[in-house]
Amino acid sequence: MSGSSGGRSIFHERDGELWCEGVPLSRIADEVGTPCYVYSETAVRQRYETFSAAFAGLDSRVFYSVKANHNLALLRVIRELGAGADVVSVGELYRVQLSGFQGSDIVFGGVGKRVDELEAALSAEVLIINVESEGELRRLNDVAAAGSTRAPVAIRVNPGVEPDTHAYTQTGHYRTKFGVALEDAADLYDLAAGLEHVEPVGIDAHIGSQILTAAPYREAIFRLADLARRVLKTGVGLRYFDIGGGYGLEQHGDAEFDLATLAEPLGEVSSELGLTCLLEPGRWLVAPAGVLLATVLYTKRLGDRLYYVTDTGSNDFLRPSYYDAYHPIEPARGRSGSTVADIVGPICETGDFLGRERSIPPLREGDLIAVGYAGAYGFVMSSNYNSRPRAAEVVVRGDAFRVVRRRETLEDLVTGELLRDEQ
Ligand code: LLP
């Protein structure tokens, strides 16, 4: 199921059933119902240890990218492991503060921060605010002045590189909205140095997501290091070199991103320029730690096409529809043989599918399936479309599990709305 390092022993088969650590997935389905996200705490710990070990020789710090999975229980585990947090909204800031992260453990990014978000970042005393435009730099200076404080900033630079990944997850070239153009960044550091209420402390980039090769990172690091050299020469006291996240997982037989190929060029920059490297992994840490459990409601044929209609779809898990992303799908309980089917959801959209034309053992009504690599960008991107309550979330540790987010109820669906006679 989760075929990458750290994942293989976590989701495994025993007695014809799929287990997460010491718990059969069917037991979770029986007790909690489906659809349900199941995360392995041990897998998150293992992924984090492997990740940190790859950068152990480097002056560096990990800031987990909270957007990948913001469940409070997982945030708590990740904080205990020693990571900081990369947040992009006041909502994510609220979550990490609830989970015990201190200001100095937080970097605050995002291309469109409102004034109240800049204020919240300042009052949380975050380590760095990543600024993505001249307008934002000036606004932050004003907000900090009003609060009689000084904002630690990094400029997010768009290095103009194009990783080989889905167009929607590229962020490092000029046909995307992110960051400041490489050729404009030095002027912005000059401006920042002259503003009284901002202190430029870092340089930042994030070139995209689900990237499998080192080449675009090397190029970005080379371009940013060049800029950092020039900025340091002007007397600006940079301390941090943040290369963002984006480290990809294996897919269709490609190997997952080789972290060593990133550690090496970062190590060179860090020792030459005396900067601490910041890493913002999201997917790499949590995707293999999670599956989405669902139940087959109906099986049907349309012409020669076989459909398995399940109780989960793009409302719970958007990635297949939105990015045409491939996620492994397996029966969670004793089925063998092979057929070809579309595994689809209940949503009234043709684009609502988990997998199309998949080879899968023949399934029957009531069968349980597990969608793999669902620990990142799964629940966080879910919605109430078609007025469907959002799924439950469960964390497994050893041979125990607990519900860390209850399934939404019908009342949850209408919370905050007014009935006609209440208006
Ligand atoms: N840092 C910044 C500034 C980011 O924008 C992101 C992701 C990350 C770090 C973490 O990237 P990761 O290591 O998880 O690839 N919804 C998409 C992914 C969007 C990622 C957005 N930014 C998906 O499901 O593939």
pLDDT digits (tens, 9 = 90+) for 194-252: 999 999 999 999 999 999 999 999 999 999 999 999 999 999 999 999 999 999 998 77
Q: What percent of the chain has pLDDT over 70?
A: 98
Is there an atom of ligand 1 within 6 Å of 333 CB? Answer: no
CATH number at residue 348: 2.40.37.10
**Residue range 25-50: average pLDDT?**
98
Q: 239: which residues sit within 8 A by CB, 6+ positions away?
A: 201, 202, 275, 276
Atom of ligand 1 nearest to the CA of 130: 3
Output the six-digit token pair for 291.
């599956």
Atom of ligand 1 nearest to the CA of 281: 13
| Domain end point (choices 255, 281, 307) | 281
| pLDDT value of residue 77 | 98
Is 20 marked active-site?
Answer: no
pLDDT band at 3 (very low <50, low <70, confident <90, very high): very low
Least trusted range by pLDDT, from 13-17, 99-103, 108-112: 13-17
Cα(66) to ligand 1 centroid in Å equals 9
* 132 domain-assigned: yes
Clarify whether residues 296 and 277 are in a common domain. no
Is there an atom of ligand 1 within 6 Å of 68 CB? Answer: yes
| Domain end point (choices 281, 308, 341) | 281
Clarify whether residues 127 and 270 are in a common domain. yes
Clarify whether residues 116 and 255 are in a common domain. yes
Clarify whether residues 267 and 297 are in a common domain. no
Judge if pTM exceeds 0.85: yes
Taking CA atoms only, the protein residue closest to ligand 1 atom 24 is 377
**Residue range 119-125: average pLDDT?**
98
pLDDT band at 1 (very low <50, low <70, confident <90, very high): low
Clarify whether residues 208 and 332 are in a common domain. no
Residue 150: is its pLDDT beyond 70?
Answer: yes
Q: Which domain holds residue 297?
A: 11-40+287-413
Helix (H, G, I), strand (E, B) or coil at 390: coil
Clarify whether residues 253 and 326 are in a common domain. no
| pLDDT value of residue 9 | 74
Is there an atom of ligand 1 within 6 Å of 321 CB? Answer: no
* 333 domain-assigned: yes
Is there an atom of ligand 1 within 6 Å of 282 CB? Answer: yes
Clarify whether residues 156 and 260 are in a common domain. yes
Clarify whether residues 113 and 216 are in a common domain. yes
Cα(169) to ligand 1 centroid in Å equals 7
216, 162 in Cβ contact below 8 A? Answer: yes
Q: How high does pLDDT run on average in the chain?
A: 96
CATH number at residue 152: 3.20.20.10
Q: 1: which residues sit within 8 A by CB, 6+ positions away?
A: 7, 11, 12, 18, 291, 328, 330, 370, 372
Atom of ligand 1 nearest to the CA of 284: 13
Cα(378) to ligand 1 centroid in Å equals 12
Cα(246) to ligand 1 centroid in Å equals 6
Looking at the DSSP bridge assignments, the partners of residue 394 are 38, 403
| pLDDT value of residue 335 | 83
Domain count, the chain: 2
pLDDT band at 5 (very low <50, low <70, confident <90, very high): very low
